[in-house]
Amino acid sequence: MKISVFGLGYVGAVSAGCLAADGHFVIGVDPNETKVDLINTGVSPIIENDIGTSIASEVRSGRLRATSSVNHAVQDSEISLICVGTPSQLNGNLDLSFVRRVCEEIGEALREKGAYHVVVVRSTMLPGSMRSVVIPTLEASSGKTVGEDIGVCINPEFLREGTAVWDYYNPPKTVIGEVDAASGQVLIDLYGHLNAPMIRTSIDIAEMVKYADNNWHALKVAFANEIGTISKAVGVDGREVMSIFCQDTKLNLSSYYMKPGFAFGGSCLPKDVRALTYKARSLDLEVPLLNSILPSNRCQVERAIEMIIAQRSRKVGILGFAFKSGTDDLRESPVVDVIEYLLGKGYDLRLYDENVSMAALTGANRDYILNHIPHISRLMVSDMEEVLQFAETLVVGNGSPEFDNITSLAHAGQVIIDFARVSSRPSGGNYQGICW
Active-site residue numbers? 268
Ligand-binding site membership of 345 (annotated): no
Does 105 show up as a binding residue in the annotation?
no
The pairing of strands 431-433 and 393-396 is unpaired
Rg (CA), the chain: 27
Q: Which residues, 6 or more positions from 228, have their beta carbon under 8 angstroms from its beta carbon? A: 238, 239, 241, 242
The annotation status of 161 as a binding-site residue, yes or no, is yes
Is residue 266 part of an annotated ligand binding site?
no
Among residues 218, 247, 241, the alpha carbon closest in space to that of 228 is found at: 241
Alpha helices for 234-268 (secondary structure H): 238-245
Q: Is 208 annotated as a binding residue?
A: no
Residue 250 carries which DSSP code?
T
d(CA 386, CA 354): 13
Torsion-angle region of residue 329: left (phi > 0), alpha (psi -120 to 50) or beta? beta
Residue 258 annotated as binding site: yes
Instruction: Tell me the C-alpha distance between 432 and 310, whole Å.
Output: 11
**Residue 271 is assigned to a ligand binding site:** yes
350 - beta bridge partners? 317
DSSP H or E stretch at residue 289: helix 288-291
Distance between CA atoms of residues 402 and 423, nearest Å: 12
Cα distances (angstroms) measured from residue 189 to each of 171, 184, 197: 16, 9, 14
261 is in an annotated binding site: yes
Q: What is d(CA 85, CA 83) in angstroms, rounded to the nearest whole number?
A: 7
With 0-12 / 13-18 / 19 or more C-beta atoms within 10 angstroms meaning exposed / middle / buried, residue 411 is: exposed
Torsion-angle region of 154 (φ positive above 0: left; ψ -120 to 50: alpha; else: beta): beta
257 annotated among ligand-binding-site residues: yes
According to the annotation, is 348 in a ligand binding site?
no
- The CA distance from 58 to 69, in Å, is 20
279 labeled binding residue: no
Distance CA 393, CA 383 (A): 17
Confirm whether residue 260 is marked as ligand binding: yes
Query: Is 331 assigned a ligand-binding role in the annotation?
Result: yes
Residue 220 labeled ligand binder: no
Single-letter amino acid, residue 28: G
Residue 35 labelled as part of a binding site? yes
Residue 380 counted as an annotated binding residue = no
* Number of neighbours of residue 75 by Cβ within 10 angstroms: 15
Say whether 210 counts as a known binding-site residue.
yes
Contact 4, 29 (CB under 8 A): yes
Is 124 a known ligand-binding residue?
yes
Determine contact, residues 63/20, Cβ cutoff 8 Å: yes
Q: Are 166 and 93 in contact (CB under 8 A)?
A: no
- List residues forming the annotated binding site: 30, 35, 86, 124, 158-161, 210, 257-261, 265, 271, 324, 331
- List residues forming the annotated binding site for NAD(+): 30, 35, 86, 124, 161, 271, 331
- List residues forming the annotated binding site for substrate: 158-161, 210, 257-261, 265, 324
